[in-house]
Each structure stands twice: as structure tokens, then as C-alpha cells.
Amino acid sequence: MQLIETEKAVLPTPWGNFFIFGFEEKKNGKNHIALVYGDIKHSAPILSRVHSECLTGDALFSLRCDCGNQLEMALARISQEGNGVLIYHRQEGRNIGLLNKIKAYALQDKGLDTVEANQKLGFSADERDFSLCADIFNILNVKKIRLLTNNPFKVEMLSNAGINVVERVPIIAKRNTQNAYYLKTKADKMGHLLPK
């Protein structure tokens, strides 16, 4: 187990009261959270979202990506379901970090796509490690999930880490003129299952 649970508290949101759980990585002290809604202590597959941190999209309302919209959609879907888990995975910019993400944005401003920008900076297209999220599901005693994602790689990584992903549930955010090329790149180069 790479993580320890630190504390939990009630988190009121526009979609109802969630419990917020804190987790800390043993090796480096990095923090992650999970939002839990309703009763997840049963054997039915739990509607879940692994949401990778995106300060620009989630908190600053950037139109360059679909992250903020997906976060709100996931919280609303979990609330409507009556129970569920959202893991907020602290791996900004597909785990290249905030400052490198801004550098990648600057390269995109010059015509590179999101994958090319990461590679130009010396990173792979996606540097994330989802095994930490599997640890969070295990700590929460959630063994079977219906995963809100368009990313088959995320399903594969969680499955390889021992989480039984019984269904992939699409979570299609609005397309706009600013994120259309980004979404096309996610579909064409990263295998995300998005409408054309």
C-alpha cells in the first residue's frame, strides 16, 4: 500500500454533502483526496470517477480542456446515482506538473498539439500512474466500480492494479472552439472514446 488515510470530513457542495477523505503518499508526502457520496458499503458496483488534477480547468475555468466540465458532470452524476466515489488524483498536467503544463500550453500556442507539446518537453504523452487510485479504492473497500471515463487506458491501468471495472460509463463534456483540437488529439492520438 503506497498511501495512508489521514482524515475525513463533511464537504457540502452544490450536489449535496460528500465526505472528503485525505490520503498521503508514504514515499513523498504528496496528497490526494476522495469524495464519497452516500452508502458505498455494499457489493454492487460503485459509480466512480478518477479525476486528474487540472488547476486551470477545474478552478480557473479554462476552455482549453474539458476537465472542469467533467468534474462537475461527475459530481452531479454521482449525486443523482445516490452513491459513488470521486478520486481527485493530484497529477497535474498528466503528471508533468503545473509549470511544465504552462510551458506545454505555450508550445500549443505555437501550433503543437497536447501530445507533441509534452514530448517536446521530454515527457511521454501521459505520465500518470493510476495504481495510487487503486490503493484509494482498496482503502475505501470498493472492489467493483462503474468508471466514468472516456479513457480506455485508465480502465486498463485500474484493472491491472486489481480494481474490477465492470463498466465504462462515458462522460462527454461540451466541445467549444478552444478545446476542439485538444479533444480531437485525445481521440486520435491517445485513444479516448469521444464523438467525432
Residues tagged active-site = 126, 128
- The beta-strand segments (E) located in 68-162 are 84-89, 144-148
The answer to the question of whether 178 is labelled as a binding residue is no
Q: Which amino acid is at 42?
A: H
Query: Does residue 25 have a known ligand-binding role?
Result: no
Asked if residue 67 belongs to a known ligand binding site, the reply is yes
Q: What are all long-range contacts of 160-164, with beta carbons under 8 Å and residues at least 24 apart?
A: 161/130, 161/131, 161/133, 161/134, 161/135, 162/134, 162/138, 163/133, 163/134, 163/137, 163/138, 164/45
Annotated binding residue at 62? no
Looking up cell 500518470, which residue turns up? Answer: 128
**91: annotated binding-site residue?**
no
Counting Cβ atoms within 10 Å, is residue 42 exposed (0-12), middle (13-18) or buried (19+)? exposed
Ligand-binding site membership of 72 (annotated): no
Identify the residue whose cell numbers are 486520435.
188
DSSP for 16-43 reads EEEEEEEEEETTT--EEEEEEES---SS
185 annotated as a binding-site residue:
no
Annotation-wise, does 53 bind a ligand?
yes
Q: Is 94 annotated as a binding residue?
A: yes
The answer to whether 92 is a known ligand-binding residue is yes
SS3 of residue 67 by DSSP? helix
Rounded-to-integer distance, Cα 184 and Cα 135, Å: 32
Does 52 show up as a binding residue in the annotation?
yes
Annotated binding site for GTP: 49-53, 70, 92-94, 114, 149, 154
Annotated binding site: 49-54, 65, 67, 70, 92-94, 114, 149, 154
Annotated binding site for Zn(2+): 54, 65, 67
